[in-house]
Structure 1
Amino acid sequence: MTKKRSTAYGSTVALKSAMAVSGVVLVLYLIAHMYGNLKVFAGQEAFDGYAEGLRDLGYPLLPHEGFLWIVRVVLLASILIHIYSAAVLTIRARKARGHRYAVTKRVQRSYASYTMRWGGVLIALFVVFHILHLTTNTIAPGGKSDSAYERLVNGFQPEYWYVTLFYVASVIAVGFHLRHGIWSGMATLGLNKAPRQGKINGVAVAIALIVTVGFLLPPMAVTFGLVS
């Protein structure tokens, strides 16, 4: 019995660590992606140049788009690890809890439930739409274009308000997910022990706000005519 508990505990720790590490990879990608998106304010030439530069990054050591494919593989692996770890840990937590907690505890858990689980579903749907819209040019509100700048500007025109609304809702979900995820990840890695909890919470909130605002600025600027 002791060996089984020890194995289960070790498995849980491994899953939490995998979830935290994959989360760090995704956060770093979000920050880098946000930086690239903000180049839209530098104009079409700068934005398209940045997008094209990513395709040739590492050339000739890497083939054309080689760097992007490495990033895509790492991201896909991180996402799958993150989702798998979250799903297994959630199932284990439900089995372990049973009916021991009172109503107040269930209410407290609702925050994590909606921001991490249902928010995660919204984010997953958004990622698929985002790739089809701005990467593969498959979905093209406002018209298809070989220019990354034009695809972004075309897609967030006022007449396509529903695209902007979906984008805004999804980015806000990302913000909540980041806030709770960073805090949980720090806890998993043992970094949010007192007296550092206040600082860690501040860092989590700051990163979530920066990423949320950074991703919202380009589409909102297009919608309100600040970028055209």
Structure 2
Amino acid sequence: MRGYFDCFREEISTNGTTLAYKYSMALAGLLFVFYVLMHMYGNLKILWGAEAFNGYAHHLRILGEPILPYEGFLWLFRLLLLAALFVHVGLALPLWSRANKARSTRYVVKRTVRATFASKMMRWGGVALLAFIVFHLLQFTILKFNVGSGQFPDTVVDPTTHETIANPYPLVVSSFQVWWVVLIYALAMFALAMHLRHGVWSAGQTLGLTGTPAKARAWNLAGIAIAAIVSIGFIVPPLAILFGLVGK
């Protein structure tokens, strides 16, 4: 009996903190949903060729000028995403630890719903996505290393405005002409789809937006739709490049 009350007191004392963690994770996660949708849209520009893709990359860098300096908006948004990433990952770890502790406790385990395949994918898929994000940033933003063939200038002259702009197009095309790079991205998009599918639903549930059967169905469908749109939208450009439909 004493063990039961010890577990009960511990559960009450941590419940408020756990709820605050979940709210913060949900809000950070919704910011990432917005970001991946916009990023996916930008990536699809590559299907229209170098001018469209480089022009999109250039306009991201001058967004907010002259109030903001060149790349000012881009760096502010990157810092916001970095802060959200620290919140999302930093709070996921103690929540994961608490969930594991609850499942290992004799009395609390009866009140704990068994983890589904989707929830497990949220954890391990999240770890895989974190590793992929590091690889992705190193490849296209920080080091800009090319695993394909050829060397390319970082900038080109815009044929319309005659100004010097960033030139990410050839690096992206050359990299995705390598099959194992496309495979890495395909696996990452599968993990992202599972993460979004369960994450969108969990965010709605945490924020109290799934209180009725109709709302629950709507959030469930939203999770499925966003996961499908984002994952398919992200993998189309690499596959198009790999099979020679883009960048000939």
TM-score, normalized by length of structure 2?
0.84
Q: Equivalent residue for 2:72?
A: 66
Give the alignment partner of residue 239 of structure 2, picking from 198, 220, 227: 220
- Indicate whether 1:83 and 2:89 are aligned: yes
Which has the larger helix fraction? 1
Shift of 1:58: 0.7
> Taking structure 1 as reference, are residues 4 and 138 closer, same or farther at Cα in structure 2, changes over 3 Å only?
same
- Indicate whether 1:202 and 2:221 are aligned: yes
**Whole-Å separation in 2 of the counterparts to 1:110 and 1:3:** 30
For 1:54-91, what per-residue CA distance to the aligned partner results, in whole angstroms no more than 9, with x for missing partners? 11111111111111110110000001100011111111
- Structure 2: runs of 5 or more not aligned: 1-5, 155-166
Equivalent residues of 2:146, 2:175 under 8 A apart = yes
**Whole-Å separation in 2 of the counterparts to 1:91 and 1:4:** 14
**Whole-Å separation in 1 of the counterparts to 2:118 and 2:27:** 22
SS in 2 for 1:61: coil
Number of aligned residues? 222
Equivalent residues of 2:28, 2:87 under 8 A apart = yes
Shift of 1:194: 2.6
What does residue range 4-19 of structure 1 map to in structure 2 within 5 Å?
7-19=13-25
SS in 1 for 2:60: helix
Q: Equivalent residue for 1:152?
A: 172
Shift of 1:99: 4.9
Shift of 1:144: 4.3
Partner letter of residue 111 of structure 1?
A: A
Shift of 1:3: 8.7
Equivalent residues of 1:141, 1:155 under 8 A apart = yes
> Taking structure 1 as reference, are residues 46 and 95 closer, same or farther at Cα in structure 2, changes over 3 Å only?
same
Q: Equivalent residue for 1:26?
A: 32
- Indicate whether 1:111 and 2:118 are aligned: yes
207-216 or 116-125: which moved more? 116-125
TM-score, normalized by length of structure 1?
0.90
> Taking structure 1 as reference, are residues 176 and 199 closer, same or farther at Cα in structure 2, changes over 3 Å only?
same
Equivalent residues of 1:175, 1:208 under 8 A apart = yes
Query: Which 4+ stretches in 1 moved above 3 angstroms?
Result: 1-7, 99-102, 108-111
Give the alignment partner of residue 98 of structure 1, picking from 79, 101, 104: 104
Partner letter of residue 173 of structure 2?
A: V
> Taking structure 1 as reference, are residues 110 and 210 closer, same or farther at Cα in structure 2, changes over 3 Å only?
closer
For 1:129-149, what per-residue CA distance to the aligned partner results, in whole angstroms no more than 9, with x for missing partners? 111112234321124432211
Q: Equivalent residue for 1:127?
A: 133
SS in 1 for 2:197: helix
SS in 1 for 2:116: helix
Structure whose alpha-carbon radius of gyration is higher: 2
125-134 or 13-22: which moved more? 125-134
- Indicate whether 1:211 and 2:239 are aligned: no
> Taking structure 1 as reference, are residues 130 and 144 closer, same or farther at Cα in structure 2, changes over 3 Å only?
farther
What does residue range 24-63 of structure 1 map to in structure 2 within 5 Å?
24-63=30-69
For 1:130-176, what per-residue CA distance to the aligned partner results, in whole angstroms no more than 9, with x for missing partners? 1111223432112443221111110011xx21111001100111010
- Indicate whether 1:172 and 2:179 are aligned: no
SS in 1 for 2:19: helix
Shift of 1:6: 5.1
Equivalent residues of 1:137, 1:144 under 8 A apart = no
- Structure 1: runs of 5 or more not aligned: none
